[in-house]
Amino acid sequence: MISLAARDILHDGPKFALTGLGLGLLIGVTLSMAGVYRGMIADGRALLDNSGAELWVVQQETLGPYAEPSSLYDDAYRSVLTVAGVAQAANVTYLTMQIHGARGDVRAMVVGIAPGPAGTPGWPPYLIAGRQVTRSHYEAVADLASGFRLGDRIGIRRHEYIVVGLTRRMVSSGGDPMVFIPLKDAQDAQFLKDNDAILQGRRRTEENPAFNRPGSPGVLDAVIASQSRSRSVNAVLVTLQPGHRQDDVAAVIARWKRLTVYTRAQMEAILVGKLIATSAKQIGMFLVILAIVSAAIVAFIIYTMTLGKIREIAVLKLIGTRNRTIAGMIMQQAVVLGVIGFVVGKIAATFWAPFFPKYVLLMPRDSLIAFFAVLLICVLASLIAIRAALRVDPAEAIGG
Amino acid sequence: MKVLQRQGRKLTLVGLMIVLLVLFIVVALRSGPLAPIAVTLDTVEARAVSPGLFGIGTVEPRFTYRIGPTTAGRVKRLLVDVGDRVTAGELLGEMDPVDLDERVRSQDAIVSRSRAALDEAQARQDYAQAEAHRYEQLLVARSTSQEIVAARQDAGQRSIAAVQAAQADVARARAERNAVATQRQNLRLIAPVNGLIASRDAEPGTTVVAGQMVIEIIDPLSLWVNVRFDQGNATGLQAGLPATVTLRSRHGATVTGRVQRVEPRADAVTEETLAKIMFAIPPTPLPAIGELGDVSVTLPAQSAGPVIPNAAIHRVDGTTGVWQVVNGDLRFTPVMLGASDAAGHVQVRAGLDTGDRIVVYSARMLSARSRITVVERIPGVTP
Amino acid sequence: MTTPLPANGILIEGLTKRYGSGDTAVDALKGVDMYVAPGEVVGLIGPSGSGKSTLLKCLGAVIEPTGGRMTLGNDVIYDNGWRIDDLRALRRDRIGFVFQAPYLIPFLDVTDNVALLPMLAGLPNRESRQRAVELLGALDVAHRAKAMPSQLSGGEQQRVSIARALVSRPPVILADEPTAPLDSERALSVIRILHEMAHRFQTAVIVVTHDEKIIPTFKRMYHIRDGRTHEEVGEGRAIGGAIHA
Sign of the Cα pseudo-torsion (B160, B162, B164, B166, in order): negative
Q: What is the dihedral of CA B121, B123, B126, B129, to 10 degrees?
A: -50
Mean pLDDT for C207-228 is 86
Distance CA A374, CA A366 (A): 12
How many angstroms separate the CA atoms of A64 and A66, rounded? 5
Among the listed ranges A343-352, B20-29, C203-212, which one has the minimum average pLDDT value?
B20-29
Helix (H, G, I), strand (E, B) or coil at C76: strand
pLDDT mean across residues, chain B: 86
pLDDT band at C213 (very low <50, low <70, confident <90, very high): confident
User: Residue B116 pLDDT > 60, yes or no?
Assistant: yes
Interface mutation vs chain B, best among C107, C143, C146, C152, most B CBs within 10 Å: C146
Q: Are strands B329-334 and A178-182 parallel, antiparallel or unpaired?
A: unpaired
* Across A2-6, A31-35, B4-8, B158-162, least confident range: B4-8
Mean pLDDT of A343-370: 87
B83-107, pLDDT tens digit by residue?
899 999 999 998 887 778 888 899 9
Q: Of the candidates A4, A12, A319, which has its C-beta nearest C92's C-beta? A: A319
How distant is the Cα of C143 from the closest Cα of chain B, in angstroms? 12
Q: What per-residue confidence (pLDDT) applies to C214?
A: 84
**CA of B2 vs chain C CAs: smallest distance (Å):** 7
Residue B178, pLDDT > 50, answer yes
Q: Give per-residue pLDDT as tens, B186-209.
A: 788 899 999 999 889 889 988 888
* pLDDT of A64 higher than 70: yes
Contacts of C114 (CB under 8 A, 6+ apart): C132, C135, C136, C160, C163, C164, C167
In terms of Cα–Cα distance, which of A233, A230, A191 is closest to A91?
A233
pLDDT average, residue stretch A44-50:
86
Closest by CA position to C181, among listed C218, C140, C151, C211: C211
| DSSP state for residue A59 in the 8-state scheme | S
pLDDT tier for residue A180 given thresholds of 50, 70 and 90: very high
B4–chain C Cβ distance below 8 A for any pair: no
Adjacency order of strands within the sheet including B207-208: B188-190, B91-95, B73-78, B207-208
pLDDT of residue C243: 44
pLDDT in tens, A22-43: 889 988 999 999 898 888 888 8
pTM of the full structure: 0.70
Farthest CA pair distance, chain A: 120
The one-letter code for the residue type at A240 is: L
Q: Are A205 and A223 in contact (CB under 8 A)?
A: yes
- Whether A20 shows a pLDDT value over 50: the answer reads yes
Question: What digits encode the pLDDT tens for the residues A121-154?
Answer: 999 999 999 999 988 889 999 999 899 999 999 9
pLDDT digits (tens, 9 = 90+) for C153-172: 888 888 899 999 888 888 89
What is the pLDDT at residue C7? 57
Q: At residue B13, does pLDDT exceed 80?
A: no
User: Does position C4 have pLDDT exceeding 60, yes or no?
Assistant: no
What is residue C242's predicted lDDT score, i.e. its pLDDT?
Answer: 47
Mean pLDDT computed over B369-383:
83
Q: How confident is the model at residue C8, as a pLDDT? A: 65
Least CA distance to A310: which residue of chain C?
Answer: C105
Instruction: Give the E-state strand segments of chain A in sequence order.
Output: 55-58, 72-73, 86-101, 104-113, 129-130, 139-143, 153-156, 159-167, 178-182, 232-233, 235-240, 260-263
Given this model, what pLDDT does residue A398 score? 62
pLDDT of residue A189: 85
pLDDT band at B175 (very low <50, low <70, confident <90, very high): very high
CA dihedral A266, A270, A272, A274 (to 10 degrees): 150
Q: What residues of A are in contact with residue C57 (Cβ under 8 Å)?
A: 395, 398
The whole-number pLDDT of residue A146 equals 92
AA identity, residue A31: L
Interface of A with C (CB under 8 A): 1-2, 4, 7-8, 10-12, 311-312, 315-323, 325, 394-395, 397-400
Report the percent of chain B where pLDDT is more than 90: 27
- Residue B304 pLDDT > 90, yes or no? no
Considering only CB atoms, which chain C residues are within 8 Å of B1?
148, 151
Contact B6 C151 (CB under 8 A): no
User: Reduced to 3 states, what is the DSSP secondary structure of residue A45?
Assistant: helix
| Cβ <8 Å between C119 and A1 | yes
Long-range interactions of A144-150: CB distance < 8 A, separation 24+: A144/A168, A144/A177, A144/B380, A144/B381, A145/A171, A145/A177, A146/A99, A146/A101, A146/A106, A146/A108, A146/A177, A146/A179, A147/A101, A147/A103, A147/A106, A148/A101, A148/A106, A148/A179, A149/B382
Residues in chain C with CB shorter than 8 Å from the CB of B7 are none
* Contact assignment for A1 to C107 by CB distance below 8 Å: no
CB contact under 8 A, B3 and C146: yes
**Cβ(A195)–Cβ(A162) below 8 Å:** no
Task: Tell me which of A319, A326, A333 to substitute to probe the interface with C (most C C-beta atoms closer than 10 Å).
Answer: A319
Concatenated DSSP letters of C83-126: --S-HHHHHHHHEEEE-SS----TTS-HHHHHHHHHHHHT--HH
CB contacts, 8 Å: C151 with chain B: 1
User: With an 8 Å Cβ cutoff, are A239 and B310 in contact?
Assistant: no
Contact B232, B266 (CB under 8 A): no
Give the residue-averaged pLDDT of C76-81.
88
Residues of C in contact with B5 (CB under 8 A): none
ipTM tops 0.95: no
B21 part of contact set with chain A, CB < 8 Å: yes
Confidence band, pLDDT 50/70/90 cuts, at residue A54: very high
What pLDDT was estimated at residue A10? 83
| Interface touch C148/A11, C-beta < 8 Å | yes
Residue B305's pLDDT band, with cuts at 50, 70 and 90, is confident
Other Cβ atoms within 10 Å of B209 Cβ, number: 15
Q: Which residues of C touch A400 (CB under 8 A)?
A: 48, 53
Q: Quick one: pLDDT band at residue A217, thresholds 50, 70, 90?
A: low
**Whether pLDDT at C1 is above 60:** no
The pLDDT value given to residue A400 = 44
B55 bridge partner residues? B229, B295
Asked if pLDDT for residue A364 goes beyond 70, the answer is yes
pLDDT attached to residue B334 = 92
pLDDT of B82: 92
Q: Is B376 left (phi over 0), alpha (psi -120 to 50) or beta?
A: alpha
Q: What is the pLDDT of residue B290?
A: 86
Q: Give me the pLDDT at residue A94, please.
A: 92
The answer to whether residue B173 scores a pLDDT higher than 50 is: yes
Q: Using the beta-carbon criterion (under 8 Å), do C92 and A321 form an inter-chain contact?
A: yes
